Structure 1
Amino acid sequence: MVVRQRVDLAVAKIKRDAEQGSADVLKWFTFMATDVSGELSFGRSFEMLQREQKNPYIRDLETAMMIAGIRSELQPLLTIASYLPLKVLRHVLDIDRRLWSYGDEAIGNLKVHITRKQGNAATSLFSKFLDPTKNQELTDPEIAQEASNLIVAGSDTTAVSLTYFVWAVLHPNNIHVRRRLMDEICTVPANARASDLSSLQYLRAVVDETLRLYGAAPGSLPRVVPSAGVVLSQYPIPGGVTVSTQAFTMHRDPDIFKDPERFEPSRWENPSQEMKDAFSPFGAGSRTCLGIHLAMLELLLGAFTFLKQIPDATLSPTTTDESMEFENYFLIAPKSHCCQIQSR
């Protein structure tokens, strides 16, 4: 199983580094999620975990996530800035072309592997788009653009969520959470199938609470009202108007979530209908994230394996409340861009 292989390798690298001094879980989870995206989408891993270092793609990905929110709000200013003869600025603004080129390269490699019948290429997601008997609509450039989008969407999001899971569970204020979680996962063997994790209800509650407070995309998600207009909560909204909701606000509504800033997974053991309706870490409605099931698989398996393999993990002294405050450029990330842990 692709996901388990990558999760096991990532946790093994984290454990090795933690025992030698400290391990940056954000780095290793980013490599893991990127490799999973490559393997399932294109039949070939990007081999980030094996190489153990950031390549130009990862660095461009981090930059893209940082400027995404700025671009959506200040596009006119960025357009003007594109004419300035500043090398650093032009390098940043050229990010879209470079990310597209990575998608194009991935598609090109996939074609070769399909022809040679190597690895999992023939059964990968994008193999269907490259089959002329199944795809009559998308051109190669359009497929490359979709490939680039998928790589971006499947990397930072999962990595950030897993990182904040580790941060929250290992935090001294949440000792009661960790103890209960460890008691539960002790009932399941380390080699348990992913389907067996569904019995770990408290693990799912901890993951959900992590997504509530530290969901990777907590910002506004705009939607345009249909031309006929709509009535929402007795308020008429004309057609063509842009309406936005944001998980950050809804997930911290004290009328829905008691003591909303408190990390308390037990609130999900018997959630109210209002809680279920407001909970939207993956968006909602017809535009819900397409990768929600893969993301949850990675989150549950990654969280389970981490705690199972490194039960004595602790936060490093450099990992503090201040270092883990998140910056939000559409996708969040710790301000320190790392989360160091140790193993006793």
Structure 2
Amino acid sequence: MSTSIGDIVGSLSPAVVAYAVFAITIVHYAWTVTYRLYFHPLTRIPGPLFARITYLYSFYYNFWNPGRFYMTIEELHKQYGPIVRVTPDEIHLRDPENYDKIYYIGSKYYKSPAFYHAFGTDKATFTTASNEVHRAKRAALNPFFSRKRVLELEEVVQAKAIKLESRIRSALNGEGHIDLHHGFRAVSVDVITDYAFNNCYDFLERADFGVEFFNMIRDFGPGFWFFQQFPATQPIAFGLPFWLVKMVDGPLKRMMMLQNSSREQILRVKREVDSGEESSKTRPTIFHRLLSPDAADEYIVPTVDELKDEAYIIVAAAADTTGNAMTVATYNVVLNQDIYIQLTTELKNAFPDPSANLDFATLEKLPYLTAVIKEALRLSYGVIGRLPRVVPESGAEFHGYHVPPGTLVSMSSWTMHRNEDLFPGPEEFKPSRWMDPSAAIKNLDHYLVSFGKGSRQCVGMPLAYCELYVTLGRIFRHFDNLSTDHKSVEDLLYSDYFSSYHSEKGNKFDFRQAV
């Protein structure tokens, strides 16, 4: 009579079974560590011991440190050189010349599914891993963010910039100071919600510029790193009923609040499209057009779930990067009188009449304003941390190391924009570096990657530039006597929650009239 494995296991005492499970677990982890250290294809690539063994190394610096892994990576490059193994299956590169090998139009390197899945917006164009699927989705979005469309809708940006100017005048004459960090972010969100939904959030009308919304966006940042480390928890978390999630404050609640808000926006637009109300609009919006039945002639009309994810990403992106750049520009210009005088003088010469229309086409031709904006983009970084891509089937070679298919390879704007060979004195806000004829030899623009590069470059870049030129141009043409306090080094550091965020203590940038 044969004895099954189940019979044998059933005859063992619970203590013996527990011991066996424990022993198997220990053997499994011991083998995993041994493999990653000595037999993994990336074994020869240098890096710290714990980074080569476990993903918890990067998780610690991102989740608990908080969001400072990008700074750790910079230190690792100083110790190990231009190529570093930062997780068991990911390498990070420092040499700027490698950027074009990975992030280029038509690149076969594709986005890491595990990394971008953590956003919880798998149906969005931005988080799509496949280059082929991304190409089709991006084709539907491109027309709405083209330079031509941005110029057609410049009045949206102008209206928000004028409103911010009015708020500044009122605050300086009343309270005597104003927090422009959130004011700049309010411009971006008001522009995109007006532009995308024809349903502006009107943060510029709020006394605090909607600071609670921006804190919400920042505060769900740790959830991004948590879901990346523990992906199995994400469907469980998002499967919870919202009434239950609302009872517990935290990143999950904030993520679901924005997702629900995005869905409500799309459903409202869909009702207008289905009823024919959108035909009476003088200005077609992004999502009205995407949901239009006529769109089926150009592309497959997206579902509500797909557009909910698109809306989530578009609004979250608008809340961060452009506002950061405007803050960095204004803070540094106001602190440096030579820069301040040169910029305001250029604007006054270009627009002698203070009541003149400060149009985007004229503003973007001003060399010193352009230099200020580029330097602000360099020091606000856009996405500050690593952007992992999967090595294609052909494999790759970096710095003499063969990198097999499936390996994650990443670079970051933090290391690019702080490269001392390209940007001497990288921590200094120095617009003149963009006007130096000798710098043209290095083509500094090529190494400015605040919006990314290649096929995955930020779709909203033309709109962001319009916001930067129009808003900063208007402020510095009309306010030549602002002052602000120096911030500490710690207050100026960013936490990497994919986008860059100042700490809650350091995220107010108050400006007042100089005495």
Once residues 137 and 163 of structure 1 are traced to their aligned partners in structure 2, the CA distance between those partners, rounded to angstroms, is: 38
Secondary structure in 2 aligned to 1:226?
coil
In 2 relative to 1, CA 218–121 (structure 1 residues): closer, same or farther, beyond 3 Å?
farther
| Residue 48 of structure 1, aligned match among 194, 203, 228 | 203
Aligned residue in 2 for 1:231: 397
Structure 1 residues 203-231: Cα deviation after superposition (integer angstroms, max 9, x where no partner): 11111111112223221111111122233
Residue matched to 2:482: 313
Matched residues in 2 for 1:35 and 1:167: separation?
A: 22
* Residues 1:261 and 1:122: Cα distance change in structure 2 (over 3 Å): closer
- Between the aligned residues of both structures, percent identity stands at 25
Partner of 2:262: 103
The unaligned stretches of length 5 or more in structure 2 are 1-154, 239-243
One-letter amino acid of the counterpart of residue 373, structure 2: V
Matches within 5 A, 1:182-201: 182-189=344-351, 190-201=356-367
Specify which of 179, 196, 211 is matched with residue 24 of structure 1.
Answer: 179
Paired AA for residue 328 in structure 1: D
Query: Which AA in structure 1 matches 2:422?
Result: I
* Number of residue-to-residue matches in the alignment: 339
CA distance in 1, matches of 2:401, 2:183: 47
Q: Does structure 2 conserve the Cα–Cα contact (< 8 Å) formed by 1:318 and 1:340? A: no
Query: What's the CA shift for 1:143?
Result: 1.0
Q: CA RMSD in A?
A: 2.9
2:498 to 299, 314, 330: 330
CA distance in 2, matches of 1:294, 1:80: 34
Q: Tell me, in whole angstroms, the C-alpha distance in 1 between the residues paired with 2:295 and 2:277.
A: 20
Q: TM-score with structure 1 length normalisation?
A: 0.88
1:50-199 alignment to 2 at 5 Å? Answer: 50-53=205-208, 54=210, 57-64=213-220, 66-67=221-222, 70-71=225-226, 74-75=229-230, 91-114=250-273, 115-117=276-278, 120=281, 123-135=284-296, 136-171=300-335, 174-189=336-351, 190-199=356-365
1:15–1:343: 8 Å Cα contact kept in structure 2?
no
SS of match in other structure, 2:512: strand
How far residue 176 of structure 1 moved from its aligned partner, in angstroms, is: 1.7
Conserved 8 A contact 1:206-1:265:
yes
Structure-2 separation of matches of 1:55 and 1:180: 32
What is the CA-CA distance between 1:193 and the residue it aligns to?
A: 1.4
Higher mean alpha-carbon deviation, 51-60 vs 255-264, is at 51-60
- Structure 2 CA distance, aligned partners of 1:234 and 1:72? 34
**How far apart are 1:92 and its partner, in Å?**
2.1
* Alpha-carbon distance between aligned partners in 2 of 1:5 and 1:327, rounded to the nearest angstrom: 32
Spell out the pairing of 1:250-329 with structure 2 (5 A cutoff): 250-269=416-435, 270=437, 271=439, 272-273=441-442, 275-315=444-484, 317=485, 322-329=490-497
Shift of 1:18: 2.7
CA distance in 2, matches of 1:11, 1:312: 14
Q: CA deviation at 1:304?
A: 0.7
1-side partners of 2:416 and 2:403: how far apart? 20
Tell me how far apart the structure 2 counterparts of residues 284 and 312 of structure 1 sit (CA, whole Å).
Answer: 37
Aligned-partner Cα distance in 2 for 1:59–1:333: 10
Q: Note if contact 2:495-2:502 (Cα within 8 Å) is conserved in structure 1.
A: yes
The CA deviation at 1:235 is 4.6
- The one-letter code of the counterpart of 1:143 is L
> What displacement does 1:134 show?
1.3
Following superposition, the deviation at residue 294 of structure 1 comes to: 0.6
Distance 1:314 1:237 in 2: 51
Instruction: Name the SS for the 2:311 alignment partner.
Output: helix
Note if contact 2:344-2:476 (Cα within 8 Å) is conserved in structure 1.
yes
Distance 1:290 1:188 in 2: 30
- Structure 1 residues 146 and 31, CA, compared in 2 at 3 Å: closer, same or farther? same
Partner SS state of residue 243, structure 1: strand
The TM-score normalised by the length of structure 2 is: 0.60
What letter corresponds to residue 378 of structure 2 in structure 1? R
Pair 119,308 (structure 1): closer, same or farther in 2 beyond 3 Å: farther
2:459 counterpart SS class = coil
In structure 2, the residue matched to 1:9 is 163
C-alpha contact 1:38 1:46 (8 A) present in aligned 2:
yes
For residues 155 and 256 of structure 1, the distance between their equivalents in structure 2, rounded to whole angstroms, comes to 29
1:340 aligns with 2:510: yes
179-188 or 326-335: which moved more?
A: 326-335
1:221 counterpart SS class: coil
Amino acid corresponding to residue 256 of structure 1 in structure 2: L
Structure number with higher relative contact order (C-alpha < 8 Å, ≥ 6 residues apart): 1
Contact conserved, 2:290 with 2:301, CA < 8 A, in 1? no
Contact 2:246 2:253 in 1 (8 A): no
Q: Does the aligned pair in 2 maintain the 1:14–1:28 contact within 8 Å?
A: no
- Paired with 1:99 and 1:87, the residues of 2 have a C-alpha distance of 12
CA distance in 2, matches of 1:40, 1:119: 16
Aligned residue for 2:501, secondary structure, equals: strand
* Contact persistence 1:82–1:90 (CA under 8 A): no
Q: Matched residue of 2:358: which SS?
A: coil
Paired residue type of 2:170: R
Partners of 1:281 and 1:148 in 2: CA distance: 21
Higher mean alpha-carbon deviation, 232-241 vs 155-164, is at 232-241
